Amino acid sequence: MKQSLFKIIKNEPLTSTVYRMILEGDTSAITRSGQFLNIKLDGLFLRRPISVCDYDDNTITILYKVVGKGTEGMSKLSPASILDILTGLGNGYDTTKSGNHPLLIGGGVGVPPMFRLAKDLIAEGKNPKVILGFNTKDETFYIEEFQHLGAEVLIATADGSIGTKGFVTDIVKELCDYTYFYTCGPEPMLKALSDCTTTSGQLSFEERMGCGFGACMGCSCETKYGNKRICKDGPVLEKEEIIW
Amino acid sequence: MVNTKVTLSGITLDNPIIPASGTFGYGYEFAELYDINILGSFSFKGTTKEPRFGNPTPRIAECTGGMINSVGLQNPGIEKVIQEELPKMKKVFHKPVIANISGFSVEEYVYCCQKIDQEDQVGIIEVNVSCPNVHHGGMSFGTSPEVAAEVTRAVKAVTKKPVYIKLSPNVTDIASIAKTCEEAGADGISLINTLMGMRIDLKTGKPVIANKMGGFSGSAIFPVAVRMVYQVYEAVNLPIIGMGGVSSPEDVLEMMLAGATAVQVGAANLVEPYICKNIIEKLPEVMKKYGITDLNDIIGGAHK
């Protein structure tokens, strides 16, 4: 973990509620896809945890949905503003277990961490298949960006306005040639995926956090391998250890 | 040169800054960030007789100037703390620590204090009397002067270490509770624990916290804490560890003027992980600004 200052390079809407922010600063504490940032915002006591979509030597890209005071405040920040951020939080995804044909399944605001994961898996010579779930066409984002990585991308929308009508699980149930799965999204989706997948996998969880670095025990959960802190021992848990 | 050394029951601290129990774990997370031996001491995670998972999540809620937590004393239990956590802690922190002990019956407090009494690195036992008493309908030990005194007496009988009673602010007369703890043999008083609070989510119409209520902490409670430290200082002749919303060197001085000999920093650690280091580094400069050469000169200064 590292605490440092970042400069906002870009902060733009991708849909009516989802924004992309590009931050410039010290990214050296980030070691894996699936990790998150904890961002200090004016007028709020607790930092706001946001997953990392992508990063390089000096920039971080985050995609966030405006859901409350914190994210609303973020959406109004202009480029050149400075943010105090904790980086390198959480365990992130372990790509060594993926096999050659992993599935990457992102639902709504669970889509962003799949991007860097797909990039890493492709760089490792693997062939990930990406399944993205949204409510409706107007709420979709990053489909082209995933395609540009060279991954096969399948879309599910609840209303069928683009891709398969239904949920990501409706697509996953039809697939049988995958070696592993990685996912992030709302908990009911994670549960449904855990039930319908035929392989092991890694699932990223969300919880209200105090510190984000393992000190306060605010985000604990019970697993088959003992109590874990979502922020420090997670947010990524293995399918086999989860108690639903 | 200014003097920042203070003494609690014969234990000299390099400075009065002590991370508060439950906001610093056993120190490892922070030891990755800075050498935690610069701290005066620290109060480790509240420990109970049995292992506890704590309350269901969500356990955390945002508030103006603070937060609510209902962690519910999650800890691995006294045996594991002694066997596993303390040896690990010893590697990153070499000064006397404060052992924060909780219980749901007088017997549990006694059991834990007896065990922790054997640990060399424990300098002070801080007894958290804010927990519900299972034998008295779940009412907190700390809300009744008689029960708080009963815990104090029972614990004092089984340990040679100094015992500080950590008081709940959710009472009508904190000074009288401090007084009865003093009469029962307490060596010091820690205050304040969190204030009971609640947030309701407008989208769901339900409390944010799964357990409905939780403990409110953070900078917003600082004036309440200063007031209570001031009142307790008038009532007892014991060293006081003041806490509640402390987040700057100025807050430390204010708390000491109210009557604290040492000061704990709690919720601020969770949002500013370097806060204790920053306070320790800036303290001498802020002391100079106010013409203070020795911190001991200002303890209770507001009463003169």
Q: Domain extents for chain A? A: 2-89, 95-203
* pLDDT number for residue B131: 75
Residue A85: C-alpha distances to residues A211, B12, B25, B32, B65 (Å): 12, 36, 21, 17, 19
- pLDDT at residue B235 tops 90: yes
Residue of A211, A222, A233 for testing the chain B interface, max B β-carbons within 10 Å? A211
Tell me the per-residue pLDDT of A185-208, one tens digit each, with 9 for 90 and over.
Answer: 999 999 999 999 999 999 999 999
Per CATH, the architecture of A2-89 is what? Beta Barrel (2.40)
- pLDDT at residue B67 tops 90: yes
| C-beta atoms of A220 and B61 within 8 A | no
A216 touches chain B (CB under 8 A): yes
Confidence of residue B130 (pLDDT cuts 50, 70, 90): confident
pTM listed for this prediction: 0.95
How far A207 CA lies from chain B's nearest CA (Å)?
Answer: 7
Tell me the per-residue pLDDT of A111-125, one tens digit each, with 9 for 90 and over.
Answer: 999 999 999 999 999
Confidence of residue A215 (pLDDT cuts 50, 70, 90): very high
* pLDDT number for residue A176: 87
Tell me the per-residue pLDDT of A101-113, one tens digit each, with 9 for 90 and over.
Answer: 999 999 999 999 9
Given this structure, which CATH class describes domain B6-54+73-197+210-303?
alpha beta
| C-beta atoms of A208 and B271 within 8 A | no
Confidence of residue B137 (pLDDT cuts 50, 70, 90): low
B53 touches chain A (CB under 8 A): yes
Fold category of A95-203 in CATH: Rossmann fold (3.40.50)
- What DSSP line would sit under chain B, residue for residue? --B--EEETTEEESSSEEEPTTSSTTSHHHHTTS-GGGSS--EEEEE-SS-B--SPSP-EEEETTEEEE-----B--HHHIIIIIHHHHHHH--S-EEEEE--SSHHHHHHHHHHHTT-TTEEEEEEETTSB-GGGTT-BGGG-HHHHHHHHHHHHTT-SS-EEEE--S-SS-HHHHHHHHHHTT-SEEEE--PEEE--EETTTTEESSTTS-EEEESGGGHHHHHHHHHHHHHH-SS-EEEESS--SHHHHHHHHHHT-SEEEE-THHHH-TTHHHHHHHHHHHHHHHTT-SBGGGTTTGGG-
- pLDDT at residue B252 tops 80: yes
Tell me the per-residue pLDDT of B36-60, one tens digit each, with 9 for 90 and over.
Answer: 999 999 999 999 999 999 999 999 9
ipTM over 0.90? The verdict is yes
* pLDDT number for residue A48: 97
Q: Which residue spans within chain A are E strands per DSSP?
A: 2-13, 18-24, 36-39, 48-51, 54-55, 59-65, 82-89, 102-107, 129-134, 152-157, 164-165, 180-184, 201-204, 220-223, 226-229, 236-238
- pLDDT at residue B134 tops 70: no
Tell me the per-residue pLDDT of A21-75, one tens digit each, with 9 for 90 and over.
Answer: 999 999 999 999 999 999 999 999 999 999 999 999 999 999 999 999 999 999 9
| C-beta atoms of B29 and A210 within 8 A | no
Per DSSP bridges, beta strands B43-47 and B163-166 are unpaired
Token pair of A154 as six digits: 């399948």
Q: What is the mean pLDDT of residues B136-162?
A: 91
* pLDDT number for residue B304: 84
A3 touches chain B (CB under 8 A): yes
Which residues of B are designated catalytic? 131
**Are the CB atoms for B34 and A180 separated by under 8 Å?**
no
